[in-house]
Amino acid sequence: MDIRPITDGYAVSPQIDPADMAAIRDAGYVLVLCNRPDAENPPDLQADAMRRAAEAAGLAFVENPVTHQGLNEDMVRLQRETIDGAGGPVLAYCASGTRSTIVWALGQAGERPADEIVGAAANAGYDIAGLRPRLGD
């Protein structure tokens, strides 16, 4: 498991395993946010299996499957609303953590300075500088 904090309340990770849920809970996260479509994963890593594991560990679980080609405002809104309403730190995952970073960044546009958004992603190892025109000033 490779948890990469973006902010104090939001971190991303490449694909996690159902067996990681207790460690995620013990690290202080309260919600796991799945940004990976089921079509990319074998059955044991698909959202239903991950939801069962998360809930068994006492974590909330939200599915927001994102593809680069299909990323839309509804996905950005769901990501932001989920993070804002979680009541504690959120761990989002996808294949590499990049999509989870991008959808977060788009949800921060207009709320945080673009340099801050790009810098937070860079500190976690994600280069999203190409999104700067969509992030505002």
Average pLDDT, the chain: 94
Q: What is the pLDDT of residues 21-47, one digit of tens each?
A: 999 999 999 999 999 999 999 999 999
Domain ranges of the chain: 4-135
Note the maximum CA span of the chain.
42
Q: How far is Cα 112 from Cα 135, in angstroms, rounded to an integer?
A: 9
90-118 pLDDT tens trace: 999 999 999 999 999 999 998 899 999 99
Token pair for 61: 């679980």
Question: Residue 98's pLDDT is what?
Answer: 95
Answer whether residue 137 shows pLDDT above 80. Answer: no
101 within 8 A of 126, measured Cβ to Cβ: yes
Q: How far apart are CA 73 and CA 123, in angstroms?
A: 25
Cα angle, residue 121 at apex, residues 117 and 123 outer, rounded to 5° = 115
Find out if CATH 3.30.830.10 is the number for domain 4-135.
no
pTM: 0.94
Per-residue pLDDT reduced to its tens digit, 38-81? 999 999 999 999 999 999 999 999 999 998 788 899 999 999 99
pLDDT class of 1 with cuts at 50, 70, 90: confident
What pLDDT is attached to residue 91?
98
